[in-house]
């Protein structure tokens, strides 16, 4: 679990560095985290941040597999999709705002969206399995609440993204202006979800 915690902590430090160091070049409310890859000097920090998050998540997945907890195959596959989606968002950078969508940008968009959706679904599946184990109900409740909060954040992010894609009304344009904020809230919730999962793995070692 040390590797998982180091990776997750590294991603938080990287995100903080991007927000502080490039605050004047990227609007944290309107622009997505991926836009940091397009600003001068921000690409390497963004890549390192995402790789840390992916590595920490992969270590967490390995820990869950070794823990003996009844995670289930679908949840493992969803966590794998989360890890893979993160890596692909680095391999295929986003398009600059206002530009014509490219194949690269579309791959980035859909893999990022798939990753955002996969993690809370995995959390809900794991919470359901943990909830039937004696003594695991508090962990299951915490995991379930965080997962549902992440789902709500993801839906808000999806709504803002759709409005940004087709801002046909003044209300849609207003909602699109909060795209970056919606994404950051979602990723914040999903990072909390990862730490809750890491806590479950750590707790399982004391119950063997």
Q: Is the pLDDT of residue 207 over 80?
A: no
pLDDT tens digits, one per residue of 149-184: 999 999 999 999 989 888 778 898 899 899 999 999
Q: Is the pLDDT of residue 68 over 80?
A: yes
pLDDT tens digits, one per residue of 30-56: 999 999 999 888 899 999 999 999 999
**Are residues 164 and 179 in contact, defined by beta-carbon separation less than 8 angstroms?**
yes
Alpha helices in the chain (DSSP H): 2-21, 42-67, 73-91, 103-130, 137-165, 170-176, 179-205
Q: What is the pLDDT of residue 6?
A: 84
Task: Check residues 77 and 98 and name the one with the higher pLDDT.
Answer: 77
Q: What is the pLDDT of residue 208?
A: 56
Q: What is the pLDDT of residue 172?
A: 87
pLDDT tens digits, one per residue of 97-106: 778 889 999 9
**Are residues 91 and 43 in contact, defined by beta-carbon separation less than 8 angstroms?**
no
Q: How far apart are CA 194 and CA 199, in angstroms?
A: 9
**Are residues 194 and 57 in contact, defined by beta-carbon separation less than 8 angstroms?**
yes
Task: Check residues 114 and 95 and name the one with the higher pLDDT.
Answer: 114
Judged on CB neighbours under 10 Å (0-12, 13-18, 19+), 138 is: exposed
**Are residues 67 and 204 in contact, defined by beta-carbon separation less than 8 angstroms?**
yes
Q: Is the pLDDT of residue 96 over 90?
A: no
Judged on CB neighbours under 10 Å (0-12, 13-18, 19+), 75 is: buried
């Amino acid at each position: 679990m040390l590797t998982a915690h180091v990776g997750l902590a590294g991603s938080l430090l990287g995100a903080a560095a991007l927000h502080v160091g490039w605050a004047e070049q990227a609007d944290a409310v309107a622009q997505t985290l991926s836009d940091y890859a397009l600003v001068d000097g921000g690409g390497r920090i963004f890549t390192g941040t995402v790789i840390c998050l992916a590595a920490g998540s992969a270590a967490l997945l390995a820990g869950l597999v070794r823990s003996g907890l009844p995670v289930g195959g679908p949840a493992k596959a969803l966590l794998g999709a989360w890890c893979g989606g993160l890596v692909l968002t680095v391999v295929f950078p986003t398009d600059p705002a206002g530009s014509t969508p490219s194949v690269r940008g579309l791959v980035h968009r859909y893999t990022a969206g798939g990753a955002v959706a996969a993690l809370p679904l995995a959390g809900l599946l794991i919470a359901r399995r943990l909830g039937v184990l004696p003594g695991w109900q508090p962990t299951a409740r915490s995991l379930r609440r965080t997962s549902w909060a992440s789902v709500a954040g993801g839906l808000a992010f999806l709504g803002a993204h759709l409005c940004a894609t087709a801002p046909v009304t003044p209300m849609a344009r207003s909602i699109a202006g909060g795209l970056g904020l919606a994404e950051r809230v979602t990723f914040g919730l999903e990072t909390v979800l990862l730490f809750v999962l890491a806590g479950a793995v750590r707790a399982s070692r004391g119950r063997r």
